[in-house]
A and B are shown apart, each in its own frame.
Chain A
Amino acid sequence: MVCMTRNDKNLIRGGTNAVEVRGLVKHYGTTKALDGVDLDVREGTVLGVLGPNGAGKTTLVRCLSTLIQPDAGHAVVAGYDVVKQPRQLRRTIGLTGQYASVDEKLSGWENLYMIGRLLDLPRKKARARADELLERFSLTDAAKKAAMDYSGGMRRRLDLAASMIGSPAVLYLDEPTTGLDPRTRNEVWDEVQRMVAEGATVLLTTQYMEEAEQLASELTVIDRGRIIARGGVDELKAKVGGRTLQIRPSDPAELAAMAQAVREAGLDGVAGAQAVPDEGLLHVPILSDEQLTAVIGLLGTRGFSLAHVATALPSLDEVFLAITGDKATVTDTNPQEVAA
C-alpha cells in the first residue's frame, strides 16, 4: 500500500475538490468501460489519469463533460452534478480531446470568434479574446489560415485556445499529445504548464508515464474501467522503481565488472545493477538525481570509460507490471490483468 502525502502545492491551495467522482459506471453492451471509478481533483491541481488504450479514460472524460450519461454512480464538477445540472456544468469546463474539436474549414480566428460568441461574449470582446489567445498560443501568423491546413501541433494549440476562451474552472485534456512528435509535444506541455500556473484545475488523461510526470502532481492509474492505483507522482514512481539509468561502456567487455562494482559499492538507495550484454548496456534503477550522480561518480573513480549515459522512465507496461505484479488482490478480481 502506497502511503499518501499531499504535496505542498495542494496544502497551500486548500482541500476543495473541483472534481469528485464516486462509483461511476458506464457500460457499452457487455463491456464495462467504467466499472466503479472514484476520484478527486483538488482545485488548482493536475490529476493525471494514466492507462492504456481502452482503459476507460476517454469514457471518463466524456461522462464528466456531459457528452454521455453514466449508468450509475455520480460526479460533481465545480459544484455541479454532471447528470442533474449539465447546463450549468458546461459553463465551467473546457475540453481538449485527442481529435481537434474545431471547425476545420474555418480559420483559427474564425473558430475562436465563433466560440466567443457562443459563450455570450459581446462582438468586440469576442474579437479581442480571439486575438489575445491566438497571440498567446503563437498562432497569430496562422490566424487567417483554415484549421485544416494547420500542422498537428498548431491544431492542438488552437484546440487548447478554444477551450480557454471561457476561462473554464476545470479543464479536461484527453490525451493531449497522442500522435504528436516530441517537439510539438513539448509545445503543448508548455502551454498546459502555463495554464496550471495560472490556477486552472486539470484532469489529464495519458498513456505516457513521461507526460504524467511532466504535468501532473497526482496520478490515478486506470485499467479496464477500474482504478488500480493512485497517489502522488513521486510515490508511484518510487513504487515502480523510478528511472532506469542506462550506461554504455566504451569497452563492452567491462559490462560485468561495472555491474559488480555498482552492486558492491552499496550506494544509498541503489538497489541493483544489471548488465544487458545484448544491448551493450548497464541498467541501474535509480530514484533521484543524487543517485545518478553517485553511480556515475563511482564508475569514474574506478576508472571505467563511459561512451554513453541515458535515463529512461518506466514504460506504461512496466508501471502496470509493478502495480499489478505484487498485488495479488488485483489479479484475483481481474484475472486478465496479468496478461495485460
Chain B
Amino acid sequence: MSTTTLTPTPTGAGTSAPSAKLHDEGRIGLRNNLRHIGALVRRNLLQIKKDPESMFDALLMPVIFTLLFVYVFGGSVGGSMGGGRQEYLNYLIPGLMAMMGMNIAMAVGSGVNDDFRKGVMDRFRTMPIARSSVLIAKIVVELGRMMVATLILLAMGFALGMELQESVLGLIGAIALSAAFGAAIMWIFILLGLTMKTAQAVQGMGMLVLMPLQFGSSIFAPTQTMPGWLQTFTDYNPLSNLADAARALMMGGPLAHSVWVTLGWTVVITAVMAPLAVAKFRKKS
C-alpha cells in the first residue's frame, strides 16, 4: 500500500447534480452572450486607448500605400490604362480598400497569440462565458480598426482627387463587402494565431500568404498584361474579386460576377474557419 487513505467516500455520493441540471442550465442566453462580447470589446478598446501605438498600422498604412502607389506607379500604370495619375487613383483606392482588411486581419492573429501566452486567457476560459465570445469581441474591435483605416483611405483618395462614379450607396456596399470578407479572413488568422508558437511567426506566416495574394491580383494593376498562368491565378484569387467588386460598386462596370464570387468566398471561409478556430480555442491547453 503506497498511500494512506481517508475514510473512503462513495464516489459522487450526495454531491452529484440532479440529472435535470445536466445540460440546459449551463447554456448562455443570447442577451448574456451579447453582454459578454460587449465587456470584452470594451477590454480591447481600453487596451488600444492605453497603447495608442497599436493603432499606427490602421492610421498610417492607408496614407503610405496611397501616396506610394499613386505617385510611384500612378503615372505609368494610369498612362497604360489610357488616362493618367487621376485614372489610376480611381482604380487603386477601391483595390486598397479590399487590401486594407487583410493587413488589419493579420494583427488579430498575433493579438490572439499574444493573449494566449498571458494568464488572462486562462481566466476567460474558466469563466461561464461562451468561449467564442472572446474571439468574436476581437473580431468586432478589428472591424472597427478596419473601418478607421478605410475612412482614412477614402479621405486620402478624395483629397488627391478621386471621383466616385457611382452613388454613395455603392460606396457603402463596397465598404460592407470589404468588411465582411475581412471578418472571414480574420478567422483564418485567429486559427493561425492559436496554432503557431509566437506572434512573430504568425506575422511572418501571414506575410508569406498575403504577399502573393495581394500582388497577384487586380488590386494594384489591371491583369490584362500578366502572363496567362498568372491571370488564371488572379481570376480565382478572392482578393482580385473583392477589388473588382469594390471597383464596380464605386466606379461602375460589370458587377454581378465579382460580388457573388466574393460573397461565396466569404461564406465558405467563415463556415469552415470559424468552427475550426473556436474548436482549437476550446481544446488549447
Collect the chain B residues with CB atoms within 8 Å of residue A15's CB: 9
Collect the chain B residues with CB atoms within 8 Å of residue A88's CB: 17, 21, 25-26, 128
Cβ-defined contact, A162 with B123, below 8 A: yes
Cβ-defined contact, B32 with A120, below 8 A: yes
Residue among A16, A18, A87, A327 with the most chain B CB within 10 A? A87
Query: 1/0 per residue B4-31: CB within 8 Å of A?
Result: 1111010110111100011101111000
Main secondary structure of the interface of B (DSSP, over half): loop
Of A65-73, A131-139, A240-248, the one contacting chain B is A65-73
Collect the chain B residues with CB atoms within 8 Å of residue A146's CB: 50
Complex-state Cα separation, A93 to B123, whole angstroms: 11
Q: In residues 22-45 of chain A, which contact B (Cβ within 8 Å)? A: 22, 38, 40
B225: Cβ under 8 A from any A Cβ:
no
Collect the chain B residues with CB atoms within 8 Å of residue A6's CB: 7
Query: 1/0 per residue A60-85: CB within 8 Å of B?
Result: 00100111100000001011110011
Complex-state Cα separation, A18 to B1, whole angstroms: 26
B2: Cβ under 8 A from any A Cβ:
yes
Query: 1/0 per residue B40-57: CB within 8 Å of A?
Result: 101100110011000000
Query: 1/0 per residue A98-133: CB within 8 Å of B?
Result: 011111111000100011011110000000000000
Collect the chain A residues with CB atoms within 8 Å of residue B127's CB: 90, 115, 118-119
Of B83-91, B114-122, B198-206, B234-242, the one contacting chain A is B114-122
A336: Cβ under 8 A from any B Cβ:
no
Q: How large is the interface on A (under 10, 10 to 19, 20 to 34, 35 or more residues)?
A: 35 or more
Cβ-defined contact, B17 with A97, below 8 A: no
Collect the chain B residues with CB atoms within 8 Å of residue A2's CB: 4
Complex-state Cα separation, A14 to B283, whole angstroms: 37
Complex-state Cα separation, A282 to B34, whole angstroms: 67
Of A175-183, A185-193, A224-232, A270-278, the one contacting chain B is A224-232
A217: Cβ under 8 A from any B Cβ:
no
Residue among B12, B51, B121 with the most chain A CB within 10 A? B12
Residue among B14, B35, B39 with the most chain A CB within 10 A? B39
A313: Cβ under 8 A from any B Cβ:
no
Q: Residue B50 contacts which of A16, A40, A105, A162 (CB distance < 8 angstroms)?
A: A105
Known: A79-B15, A88-B26. A230 touches B4 (CB 8 A): yes
Complex-state Cα separation, A76 to B9, whole angstroms: 13
Cβ-defined contact, A228 with B17, below 8 A: no
Q: Residue B123 contacts which of A1, A87, A102 (CB distance < 8 angstroms)?
A: A102
Main secondary structure of the interface of A (DSSP, over half): mixed
Q: Residue B39 contacts which of A1, A114, A230 (CB distance < 8 angstroms)?
A: A114
Cβ-defined contact, A329 with B51, below 8 A: no
Collect the chain B residues with CB atoms within 8 Å of residue A117's CB: 35-36, 38-39, 42
Collect the chain B residues with CB atoms within 8 Å of residue A230's CB: 3-6
Complex-state Cα separation, A285 to B17, whole angstroms: 48
Collect the chain B residues with CB atoms within 8 Å of residue A78's CB: 15
Cβ-defined contact, A101 with B15, below 8 A: no
Collect the chain A residues with CB atoms within 8 Å of residue B46's CB: 105-106, 110
Closest to A330 in B: B2
A95: Cβ under 8 A from any B Cβ:
yes
Known: A1-B4, A117-B38, A162-B123. A106 touches B47 (CB 8 A): yes
A13: Cβ under 8 A from any B Cβ:
no
Closest chain B CB from A8 CB (angstroms): 16
Collect the chain B residues with CB atoms within 8 Å of residue A79's CB: 15-17
Cβ-defined contact, A229 with B4, below 8 A: yes
Complex-state Cα separation, A15 to B10, whole angstroms: 12
A12: Cβ under 8 A from any B Cβ:
no
Collect the chain A residues with CB atoms within 8 Å of residue B17's CB: 79-81, 85, 88
A293: Cβ under 8 A from any B Cβ:
no
Cβ-defined contact, A329 with B39, below 8 A: no
Q: In residues 124-167 of chain B, which contact A (Cβ within 8 Å)? A: 124-129
Nearest 9 CB-CB pairs, A to B? A87-B26, A101-B119, A117-B39, A101-B123, A99-B119, A68-B285, A88-B26, A90-B128, A2-B4
Q: Which residues of A contact B (CB under 8 A)?
A: 1-2, 4, 6, 15-18, 20, 22, 38, 40, 62, 65-68, 76, 78-81, 84-88, 90-91, 93, 95, 97, 99-106, 110, 114-115, 117-120, 146, 159, 162, 218, 226-231, 327, 329-330, 333
New A-B pairs, 10, CB < 8 Å, besides A20-B11, A90-B128, A333-B2: A4-B7, A17-B15, A20-B9, A76-B12, A90-B126, A93-B126, A99-B119, A101-B122, A102-B123, A120-B32
